């Protein structure tokens, strides 16, 4: 079939846990040999454990563009020969590499080559043992059209090395950014949040799961709205320096929160326990409101001072405050909302860029998380 067609789109995927009916290396090599003849290919998705070199020659100086019209390249692994042809893909706009692995030369090669792809709009990388944050700045400066910048360290126990200064240097170079996911570790106060809103006003997805966000009522009042943001993840979100308020304490914070994040549909704290499926948020919230009385004012949320962060963080109290606030705001009722927002954003980018989406096999086994249709809370 491949010898008879003039393909623009090719997607081949094998599940990592299944060894049944897997293609042999020789079969995959023959497929790639046929694909080299498809000069109109615009999308190439190879979610397979191994693949042969895209070109017959492996010498760097002899690398040429095998697909002059290629706009999107998705790879599951890090075959060195594929990474070396990146600078030749002049039309490349979407690059996804699920496992770059570790090793200084390989990481340096792919990051250096990506910085030469000036038409890139989306970068999605999983890296191990990443330690060169300057290379990320090179990509940001070399790819000014980027709308998605996701670089994650797959070693969950590793210490993120991207700090505050380098993060904001990166953001200043990416005014078109709509999707940001980085393992940056620092404390973000209201002024830093203001700077983030200023540099990246188009953000829809924000994932800084190793960064602490610390807000105070006074500075929240002066923040400009994050008008497009729909989902965000931080390590923790803490409220500090809040005065003793009246019985509408949570509602006061919720009003300010809604003004700053008018489109936000989901917020997660990475260090918090996961939401429980048996939680009935609406009924629990109503029960909480009913239980508040004048007799137990000292333990209810009529006084917010119990939830102010001190030198030790008071994590339990802050967690209780967040849970109360999230319930008032209506977050947490839909467990898949973050995944759907991410998937919808990616799908829209692919349709706009390629004309059709790249639908993974996981979409068939987990359709809720891969749906682009809004779902009502009651469903």
For residue 84, give both structure tokens: 């070396």
* pLDDT at residue 77 tops 60: yes
Candidates 288, 267, 271, 287; CA nearest to 333 is 267
Q: Are 116 and 88 in contact (CB under 8 A)?
A: no
Residue 74 has pLDDT above 90, yes or no: yes
CA dihedral 10, 16, 18, 23 (to 10 degrees): 40
The SS3 call for residue 358 is coil
Report residue 343 as tokens: 């998937």
Q: What is the pTM of this model?
A: 0.85
Instruction: Collapse the DSSP code of 279 into the 3-class scheme (helix H, G, I; strand E, B; otherwise coil) and give the result.
Output: coil
Mean pLDDT, residues 58-73: 77
Question: CA 136 → CA 101, 142, 196, 301, 325, distances in Å?
Answer: 16, 10, 17, 44, 36
Is residue 313 within 8 Å of residue 249, measured between CB atoms? no
Evaluate whether 91 touches 69 at the Cβ level (below 8 Å): yes
Percentage, residues of the chain above pLDDT 70: 74
Per-residue model confidence as pLDDT tens digits over 302-348: 334 444 444 344 667 788 888 889 999 999 888 899 999 999 999 99
* pLDDT for the residue numbered 240: 79
């Amino acid at each position: 079939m491949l010898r008879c067609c003039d393909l623009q789109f090719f997607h081949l995927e094998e599940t990592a846990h299944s060894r049944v009916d897997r293609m042999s290396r020789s079969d995959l090599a023959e497929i790639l040999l046929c694909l080299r003849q498809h000069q109109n290919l615009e999308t190439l998705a190879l979610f397979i454990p191994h693949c042969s070199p895209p070109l017959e020659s492996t010498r760097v100086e002899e690398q040429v563009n095998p697909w002059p019209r290629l706009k999107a390249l998705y790879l599951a692994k890090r075959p060195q020969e594929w990474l070396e042809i990146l600078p030749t893909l002049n039309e490349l706009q979407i690059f996804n590499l699920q496992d770059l692995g570790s090793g200084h030369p390989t990481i340096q090669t792919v990051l250096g080559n990506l910085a030469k792809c000036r038409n890139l709009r989306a970068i999605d990388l999983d890296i191990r043992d990443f330690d060169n944050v300057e290379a990320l700045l090179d990509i940001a400066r070399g790819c000014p059209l980027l709308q998605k910048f996701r670089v994650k360290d797959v070693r969950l126990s590793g210490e993120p090395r991207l700090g505050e200064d380098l993060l904001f240097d990166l953001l200043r170079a990416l005014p078109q950014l709509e999707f940001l996911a980085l393992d940056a570790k620092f404390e973000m106060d209201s002024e830093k949040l203001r700077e983030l809103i200023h540099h990246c006003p188009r953000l829809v997805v924000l994932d800084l799961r190793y960064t602490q966000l610390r807000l105070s009522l006074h500075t929240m009042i002066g923040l400009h709205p994050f008008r497009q943001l729909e989902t965000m993840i931080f390590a923790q979100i803490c409220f500090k320096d809040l005065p003793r308020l009246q019985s509408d304490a949570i509602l006061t914070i919720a009003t300010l929160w809604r003004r700053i994040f008018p489109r936000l549909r989901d917020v997660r704290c990475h260090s918090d326990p996961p939401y429980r499926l048996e939680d009935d948020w609406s009924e629990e919230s109503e029960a909480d409101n009913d239980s508040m009385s004048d007799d137990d004012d000292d333990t209810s949320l009529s006084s917010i001072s119990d939830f102010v962060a001190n030198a030790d963080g008071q994590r339990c109290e802050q967690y209780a405050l967040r849970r109360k606030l999230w319930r008032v705001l209506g977050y947490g009722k839909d467990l898949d909302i973050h995944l759907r927002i991410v998937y919808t954003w990616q799908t829209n980018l692919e349709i706009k860029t390629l004309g059709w989406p790249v639908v993974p096999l996981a979409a068939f086994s987990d359709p809720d998380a891969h749906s682009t249709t809004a779902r009502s809370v009651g469903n």
